Amino acid sequence: MLNQIPLPNKGVILAVDDTPASLRLLTDILKAEGYEVRSAISGELALHAATVQPPELVLLDVSMPGLNGFEVCQRMKEQEQTRDVPVIFVSSMSDTQEKLKGFELGAVDYVTKPFQREELLARVHTHLELNRLRHRLEDMVEDRTRSLQISEMKLRANLLESISAIAATVEMRDPYTAGHQRRVAMLATAIAHELGLSQHQIEGLHLAAVVHDVGKIKIPAEILSKPGRLTELEFELIKQHPQDGYEIVKEVDFPWPIAQFVRQHHERLDGSGYPDGMKGEEILLEARIIAVADVIEAMASHRPYRPGLGIEAALTEISAKRDTMFDAAVVDAALRLFREKHYQLHS
C-alpha cells in the first residue's frame, strides 16, 4: 500500500456557512488545495472559533440565523485577537449595497454564490499572501525599530563616557573640585525628578551638569589650585569659563541645547550673573537647576581657601536668594530633597 504524502499546509482557513451542503462544498475545495480548514455552521460558533484560535483567513456566509455574517465580521474587527484576520464574504446576495456594507465592515473581498472554484481559490490565495506580506513588513519594521533603539542607546552611553572623560580631565587639573561636576549632576538630576521634568529633559540636564565647568580647562592650573583668595584679575579669568565651556561643547551635535545650559549656569534671575546678565525665564530651566545644585555643592564642599561650610549654610544661602537670584521652584525642590527626603551629597 502506498503511503499517502500529505500536502504542505498552505494556510489555516475558517469556513462559515449555515447550510451544511454549502459548507461541505467550500471545505472540500479548500482541503483539496492543501489548506487546513476549520468549519463553523453558525455565526456564534465562528466567532468563538476565531477568537480561541485565530485562523489566517475567514470565508464568511452573510445570511445566517442568529449572528449573521456582517455581525460576526464587525465583532471580529472590534477585538484585538481577530482584528487583523482577513474576512472574505461568500454570499448569494449580489446586491451592490450589501457588498459595500461588507467592505465597510472591514472585509477584504466579497464572492458571490454560486462561485467559480478557480476564482474562489485565486482570491483566497491572493489575500493570504497579502496578509503574510503585511505581517512580514510589520515584523521588519519592528526589528528595524528595535535595532535603531539599541544603537541609539549605545550612542548615548558612548556620549556619556566621552563627556565623563572630558570632565575627569578638567578635574585632574583642579584637585580641590574633583568630583564637583559629578556631584552637581547627581543633585541637579534629583531636583529635576522632584520638579517632574521628562526623562528626555533630565538626560540632557545630566549631560550638561557633568561638564558644566569644562571651560575651566582654559584657566591656568595655578589659579585653579591657588590656596589663597583670588585677585580681581584672576577672578575675571575664572568668570570666562561658562563662555569657554560653551565654545567647546557647541561643536558637539546633541539633541539638547547643552552648550546653552553650560553657558548659562552662572546667570542669576535678577541679572547679576555672568557672562550675559540674563534675567528670569530668559535663563533656561536646566541652567537654573544647575545653578542651584552648583552653589549647594560648592558651599558644602572644601575649597582651597576655606573648609566646607556644610549643607545647612548652603541651604540657608539659596533660601535667602530664593526668587531674587535663584528660581523659587528649583530652590523649593532642593530644600524638600535635603529636609524631607534626606538627600545626601555623594562623595
Give contact residues for Fe ion (rule: CB under 5 A): 213
Q: How far is the CB of 299 from Fe ion (least distance, A)?
A: 13
* Spatial separation of the C-alpha atoms in residues 137 and 131, rounded to whole Å: 10
Q: Using the minimum distance from each CB to Fe ion, give the nearer residue, 89 or 261.
A: 261
Closest distance to Fe ion from the beta carbon of 182 (Å): 14
- Our CB check for Fe ion shows the closer of 17 and 294 to be 294
DSSP label at residue 84: T
Minimum CB distance to Fe ion smaller for 19 or for 243: 243
Give the DSSP H or E segment for 58: strand 57-61
Which residues is 48 bridged to in the sheet? Answer: none
Residue nearest to Fe ion (CB): 213
- Cβ nearer to Fe ion, comparing 127 with 183: 183
- Residue number with CB closer to Fe ion (89 or 246): 246
240: CB partners within 8 A, 6+ apart:
215, 218, 219, 275
What is the smallest separation between the CB atom of 228 and Fe ion, expressed in angstroms? 20
| Nearest residue (CB) to Fe ion, 23 versus 166 | 166
**Minimum distance, C-beta of residue 275 to Fe ion, in the bound complex (Å):** 11
Nine-digit cell at 306?
A: 576655606
CA distance 207 to 186: 10
In whole angstroms, give the CA distance from residue 314 to residue 15: 77
Separation between Cα atoms, residue 250 and residue 248, nearest integer Å: 6
In whole angstroms, how close is the CB of 151 to Fe ion at the nearest point? Answer: 33
Question: What whole-number distance in Å separates Cα of residue 40 and Cα of residue 84?
Answer: 19
Cα(129)–Cα(167) distance, integer angstroms = 56
Query: Do 188 and 293 meet the contact criterion of CB atoms below 8 Å apart?
Result: yes
